[in-house]
Amino acid sequence: MTAPVRVLVPQGPLANQVQLALSEPPEGIAIQQIARVREGLTILLRADADKVKPGLQGNLIVDAFIVRAATAGQTKQQANPRRQPLGTLPAIPFEIVRP
């Protein structure tokens, strides 16, 4: 089972670098795909029918971040790419229903 969610993202130099991740989602719910659209992003959420049952409901929390690559002059330890948090999207309410 899948469901799309559209998110408005302001255009700017970092817009194409924004990555999203679910924060502590229920088992069986995950982001399947993130697509860039003119207005922002479309998140395709996937629910594994073997792990989630109809009637499950709650809120999904999505964290936004960018990954910063290493720059010249950094030590080897500092050179590892790091996630730089940008914030958390408003909660996305959900309910699993019978197909």
pLDDT for 45-99, tens place per residue? 999 999 999 999 999 999 999 987 766 665 666 567 788 999 999 999 999 998 7
Place of tokens 């679910």: 22
| This model's pTM is above 0.85 | no
Nearest-angstrom CA–CA distance, 88 and 36? 18
